[in-house]
Amino acid sequence: MEKVRAGVVGMGRGCGLAKWMAQRIPQYEVVAVCDRSPERLKSRAAEIEVPDLKLYTDHRKMLAEEQLDAVMVETDPCAIAEVACDALYSGRHVICDVPLSYRLHDCWDIVIAVERTGLKFQMGEQLRYARFIHEWQQMNMEGRLGKILYAEGQYIHDIGNGRMFWDPVQGRYYGVADADGVPGLVQSDRRPMHALTYNPHELSPILKVLQDRVRTVSCMATRRGGYTYQVPDRSDLEVALMRTEGDTIIRIVNAFGCPDPGVRQHWYSFMGTKGQVELKRARWDRPKVWFKDENMADYVAVEDLGWSPAEVKEEAAGTGHGGLDFYPMYRFARAILEDTPTDMDVYLAAEACAPGIVAGISAEYEGLPFAVPDFRPGPHRKAGEPPATYMARSLYGDIEREGATHHPRGNA
Ligand SMILES: NC(=O)c1ccc[n+]([C@@H]2O[C@H](COP(=O)([O-])OP(=O)(O)OC[C@H]3O[C@@H](n4cnc5c(N)ncnc54)[C@H](O)[C@@H]3O)[C@@H](O)[C@H]2O)c1
């Protein structure tokens, strides 16, 4: 195979990514795109600027009619598992966006589909390709931080009360204020979700630095309905504490209804027995390091690398998130063409998503700790077989839940 013939499902963010795929990554030939919303499909597909691009409103028809090697799934998270599994079982490699889902069952479905088909799978979390993450991982591997005791990550993104309803025909979001009286709207999957379910941008880089997985989670949320925007069902802010297999405590704060100046939307820090690192907290601030054995009386400011990538490719410049959006797609094509493992395989993907789903469950029990399922095959489960339960179990008491309360799109 010289080029990966690709189809892209979901023409929101997927439209821009398909365009970069077609124009910047010569390893791809973008053959077809698909969106359930006919109006959105028509208007967005033209922006990709690929002659003879095939358009579909049904991903199964696209899979049946097109000669594709791979599918990029850019649907809303509630639809990723269905499309990804259909693509895998039809013999296509799959790259999808974050998160895999808001439900544990969907994560399991994808894990099992990858195990049964043996095809390549990648979750396209892109912040793990940042240079500072690469450098912190190196520091950890070289032992400069000692044993990492504590890590923090946070995603503070004030999304207001827009995107709360969805028009499936026009492919348009409506906010709380402008949805009144508009016919045919369904609740958008962004409305009642727990902020912590959108967690891979924090956990993916943190777990990459640690080379670890989360074992247990406890989470608390401020009241549903919020203070800032009064969005029904949504908390303004959620905080999770997680313990990893390797005994690091991680604290994650996610907030979609908490105003902030937008400097540290994604922010991370690590604290070890021999050193500490953290990103800047304000525009006038700098990232900092401190190493116990290097005679440092205080934290030392270091270069602000922003979102610059660890591996510099000219073609990445100008793609989203400081150019990082380029890398998952580029590396996925190389993994297919060179038959090498993907950077974020299905286990790493599930391990970056499931703790956030479990955090949403825990928040509904006022912080009751829950165990995170182990998605890797072993004595408890053979590869390709379903698990004994799709649920997360509480550590105390007999509570089992598959996902937190939410109303995915179309199921209001
Ligand atoms: N990595 C990142 O930085 C980042 C940033 C934003 C969004 N995301 C993720 O990217 C994905 C897409 O986000 P978005 O903002 O474009 O969402 P969106 O809701 O605007 O677009 C999703 C599109 O998928 C279509 N769709 C849903 N199910 C479908 C199906 N079965 N067949 C065909 N089309 C289907 C919808 O009609 C919609 O047009 C989401 O999973 C989101 O969580 C990731």
Q: To the nearest whole number, what is the mean pLDDT of the chain?
A: 94
68 phi and psi angles, rounded to 5 deg: -115, 145
**What domain count does the chain have?**
2
Task: Give domain status of residue 179, yes or no.
Answer: yes
Q: Are residues 47 and 21 in the same domain?
A: yes
The pLDDT of residue 36 is: 94
Q: Which residues line ligand 1 (CB under 6 A)?
A: 9-14, 34-37, 40, 59, 74-77, 79-80, 83, 97-98, 126, 171, 321
Same domain? 308 vs 330: no
In a shared domain, residues 138 and 73: no
Q: Are 181 and 167 in contact (CB under 8 A)?
A: no
Given pLDDT bands bounded at 50, 70 and 90, which one contains residue 219? very high
Lowest mean pLDDT among 15-24, 42-51, 182-191, 261-270: 182-191
Residue 410 covered by a domain: no
Q: Give the Cα separation of 133 and 309 in Å (integer).
A: 9
Q: Which of 8, 11, 20, 35 to mutate to test the pocket of ligand 1 (most atoms within 8 A of CB)?
A: 35
pLDDT at 268 over 70: yes
Residue 100 lies in a domain: yes
- Inside any domain, residue 389: yes
Judgement on whether residues 174 and 101 belong to the same structural domain of the protein: no
Expressed as residue numbers, the domain containing 192 is 133-312+347-401
**What is the whole-number distance in angstroms between the Cα of residue 14 and the centre of ligand 1?**
7
Judgement on whether residues 266 and 375 belong to the same structural domain of the protein:
yes
What is the pLDDT, as a whole number, of residue 407? 47
Q: Do residues 153 and 278 touch, judged by C-beta distance below 8 A?
A: no
- Has residue 255 been placed in a domain? yes
Q: Whose CA is nearest to atom 18 of ligand 1?
A: 12
pLDDT at 136: 98
76 CA distance to ligand 1 middle (Å): 4
Looking at residue 273, its pLDDT comes to 98
Q: Give yes or no for residue 63 having a pLDDT over 60.
A: yes
pLDDT digits (tens, 9 = 90+) for 69-112: 999 999 999 899 999 999 999 999 999 999 999 999 999 999 99
pLDDT surpassing 50 at residue 56: yes
Which band of pLDDT confidence, cut at 50, 70 and 90, is reported for residue 405?
low
How much distance in Å is there from the Cα of 37 to the middle of ligand 1?
12
Check whether the bond before 99 is cis (ω within 30° of 0). yes
What is the band of 138 on the pLDDT scale with cuts at 50, 70, 90?
very high
CATH number, domain containing residue 101: 3.40.50.720
Q: Which of 157-161, 219-223, 378-382 has the lowest mean pLDDT?
A: 157-161
The pLDDT > 70 percentage for the chain reads 98
**Is residue 67 located within the same domain as residue 100?**
yes
Stretch (H or E) spanning 123: strand 121-123
Same domain assignment for residues 285 and 168:
yes
For residues 51-80, b (16+ Cβ closer than 10 Å) or e, as one string?
A: eebebbeebeebbeebebbbbbbbbbbbbb
C-alpha span between 192 and 11 (Å, rounded): 23
Counting residues of the chain whose pLDDT is more than 90, the rounded percentage is 83
pLDDT at residue 406 in the model: 55
Nearest CA to ligand 1 atom 6: 13
Classify residue 318: in a domain, yes or no. Answer: no
Instruction: Clarify whether residues 140 and 121 are in a common domain.
Output: no
Do residues 160 and 111 both lie within one domain?
Answer: no
Per-residue pLDDT, 232: 78
Q: Please name the residues in contact with 177: beta carbons below 8 A apart, sequence gap of 6 or more.
A: 161
Question: How high is the pLDDT of residue 410?
Answer: 40
- Looking at the predicted structure, is the pLDDT value of residue 409 above 60? no
Alpha-carbon torsion 43, 46, 48, 54, what sign? positive
pLDDT reading at 256 higher than 60: yes
Q: Is the pLDDT of residue 192 over 70?
A: no
Q: Are residues 328 and 306 in the same domain?
A: no
